[in-house]
Amino acid sequence: MLKDFLKSLSIFYKIRKYIFQRQEGRRYYMKNVLTIAGSDSCGGAGIQADLKTMCALGVYGMSVITAVTAQNTLGVKSAVEMDKTIVEEQIRCIFDDIKVDAVKIGMVSNVEIIKTIRNLLIEYKAENVVIDPVMISKSGYLLLKSEALKEMKKFSSSSYLITPNIPEAEVLADIKIQSEKDIEQAAINIYNLGAKNVLIKGGHRSSETNCVNDILYDGNKFTIIEGQRINKTNTHGTGCTLSSAIASFLAKGNTIEESVKLAKSYITKAIENSFSIGHGVGPLGHLTELYKSSGMQYKD
């Protein structure tokens, strides 16, 4: 059985290597993507979800830890922020040695950490910066301090793309979202904060509709990224996964629209192949093909 597993694993990696290295006759060399985010002890969100996503999409993932959370599928129990000095040292170690093709920003909970990261991204002229403005966990735990909101708004100007969900967009745009027009106005307001592109995610739309379309705004036009609501309860880490997937596709040279559409396709498949590991909201199937090749059986 072990022999069969190792054989299937070898075939999987050979196929994936071929797919990712050859596209339209071009050879792709390894791209490096950095996640700056919090750690999730149960592995479904945060840097753990980011690194799984990056691995699945054929880029080399690196991490800077901003906070350590104690959480499981039932929710976040507590969190400890890293000192700004160690956050800075982690970032400098990466940029001083390694070419960074894209950066994903996740949980950055206080003013000093946000300022430190922002200044360093400017200093190192970081490219393809994707900010997921994490504010509150699915279980209701506050992940962004109220006094840091103003700094988060300033931080958005450092992004190539910012990816708020509807509740986060309401806070950043300072409006109540109740319609499609409100979403568009929120995107304009957030764009005016300095973000190059804004993606407002549709997962928090009313459950009465199956529409979970995302709205991408580049300062000139709105693009609808279509999606359908998937009847799955295991959706832990969807925001982290989407933003790190977009960063991965940007690192590989795709346009912003291509990257968002490819990431949407990836996360849809990951949600469809999500699974339970505890008594609450389980993780996505980040490495679905690898899981299946190992003999994993999915249960409804």
What's the pLDDT score for residue 147? 83
What's the pLDDT score for residue 297? 78
What span, in angstroms and rounded, lies between the C-alpha atoms of 75 and 60?
Answer: 29
Catalytic residue among 240, 280, 282, 288: 240
Report residue 163 as tokens. 């990816």
Catalytic residue among 43, 106, 202, 239: 239
Residue 201 appears among annotated catalytic residues: yes
What's the pLDDT score for residue 16? 56
Question: What homologous superfamily does CATH list for 32-285?
Answer: Ribokinase (3.40.1190.20)
Report residue 288 as tokens. 């679905």
Residue 240 appears among annotated catalytic residues: yes
What does the buried/exposed string (b/e) look like for 154-181 if buried means 16 or more CB atoms within 10 Å of the residue's CB?
ebbebbbbbbbbbebbbbbbeeebeeee
Residue 106 appears among annotated catalytic residues: no
Residue 237 appears among annotated catalytic residues: yes
Catalytic residue among 46, 237, 280, 282: 237
How is residue 147 annotated by DSSP?
G
Cβ-proximal residues to 23 (8 Å cutoff; 6+ apart), any chain: none
Tell me the pLDDT of the chain (300 aa) as tens digits.
Answer: 555 655 555 655 555 555 555 444 555 689 999 999 999 999 999 999 999 999 999 999 999 999 999 999 999 999 999 999 999 999 999 999 999 999 999 999 899 999 999 999 999 999 999 999 988 766 566 677 778 888 999 999 999 999 999 999 999 999 999 888 999 999 999 999 999 999 999 865 655 455 678 999 999 999 999 877 888 889 899 999 999 999 999 999 999 999 999 999 999 999 999 989 999 999 999 998 888 888 877 664
CA R_g for the chain? 19
What's the pLDDT score for residue 194? 96
Contact predicate 79/143, CB 8 Å: yes
Catalytic residue among 69, 73, 235, 241: 235
Contact predicate 38/30, CB 8 Å: no
Whole-Å CA distances, 37 to 87, 172, 285, 291: 10, 19, 20, 25
Catalytic residue among 53, 69, 238, 288: 238
What's the pLDDT score for residue 136? 74
Written as one string, the DSSP assignment of 15-66 is HHHHHHHEETTEEPPP-EEEEEEEEETTSSSHHHHHHHHHHHTT-EEEEEEE
Nearest to 213 by CA among 204, 222, 226, 200: 226
Contact predicate 108/133, CB 8 Å: no
Nearest to 227 by CA among 245, 244, 250, 204: 204
Residue 55 appears among annotated catalytic residues: no
Catalytic residue among 31, 201, 252, 264: 201
Report residue 70 as tokens. 């104690």
Kindly list the domain boundaries of the chain, sorted by start residue: 32-285
Count the neighbouring beta carbons within 10 Å of the beta carbon of residue 286: 29
Angle value at C-alpha 168, between 231 and 142, nearest 5 degrees:
90
